[in-house]
Amino acid sequence: MRMYFILSFLIVLHFSCSKNVVTGRRQINLIPEREIINMNLTEYNVFLNQNKKLSEYNARVVQVKKYYRPD
């Protein structure tokens, strides 16, 4: 029974791994990337609704705009 569990675990582990195209390393994908992106967007919108936007003249905003140059 124990050997069956270990074998099943290794098979699931093998098929849940995929190769990262950027780094070339193999990684375990327990949650699909699309679902993670959707969760991220949902939480980001919650954050934006709970926190007020900084003024354009706030020192931190001015500093970021001074050094950030999008391509």
pLDDT tens for the chain, 71 residues: list them: 888 889 988 887 777 777 878 888 888 877 888 999 999 999 999 999 999 999 999 999 999 988 887 76
pTM for this predicted structure:
0.51
Helix (H, G, I), strand (E, B) or coil at 32: coil
Exposure pattern of 55-67 as b/e (b: 16+ CB <10 Å)? Answer: eeeeeeeeeeeee
pLDDT in the model for residue 18: 79
How many independent structural domains does the chain possess? 1
With residues binned 3-state (H G I as helix, E B as strand, rest as coil), the percentages for the chain, rounded to 5, are: 60, 10, 30
Domain assignment of residue 37, given as a range: 2-67
